[in-house]
Amino acid sequence: MSLRGKIGAGAIALASTPLILFLGTWEGTGQNIVYGDKLARGLPTVCKGLTEHTSPYPLVIGDFWSDARCAEVESLVIRKGQLALADCLTNQQIGQNTFDALSSHAHNVGTSNTCASRAVGLINAGHLAEGCKALAWAPNGTTPVWAYVTDAAGQKHFVPGLHSRRRAEARLCIQ
């Protein structure tokens, strides 16, 4: 059964409660006022990481979003992202934790980037443990990946908090 089939059959949940809680750990909770995310060069962001690239509604710095609006739009955005992610996952053995870990990664770096990642390539090839590890580490096993931001001058900077998130995603992925 395909991953979309597992979703349709209820074996894999979209916007699962554990995923929402996991995203809250990394994206914050109570972010009801649209702010300029410093790590994303001022990208307007609200709720649990909603941006102008994911939200169906405009984001204006300083605008207030109610908890109900955050929950509604987050659920919509997460589900939409997960359905797109499901289309690039071909390994029939993927379970909820792996799907949630990849969903968190995609929510943070973009679904197309996650789908094109070495991690998804390995997972699709049946190398689950190696693919999960690849969410946080380069092939040498010691160099962090997906934990850098590029500043306005084009310089890359390591962000320890992003690497902590990647390591947490890798742990969730393999559970």
- Give the residue, 42 or 120, on which the prediction is more confident: 120
* Span 66-108, pLDDT tens digits: 999 999 999 999 999 999 999 999 998 999 999 999 999 999 9
Name the percent of the chain lying above pLDDT 90: 83
pLDDT tens per residue across span 7-60: 988 999 999 999 999 998 998 777 999 999 988 889 999 999 999 999 999 999
Contact residues for 72 (Cβ-Cβ < 8 A; gap 6+):
none
Would the CA dihedral through 121, 21, 166, 26 be positive or negative?
A: positive
The CATH fold assigned to 3-174 is Lysozyme (1.10.530)
**Model pTM?**
0.93
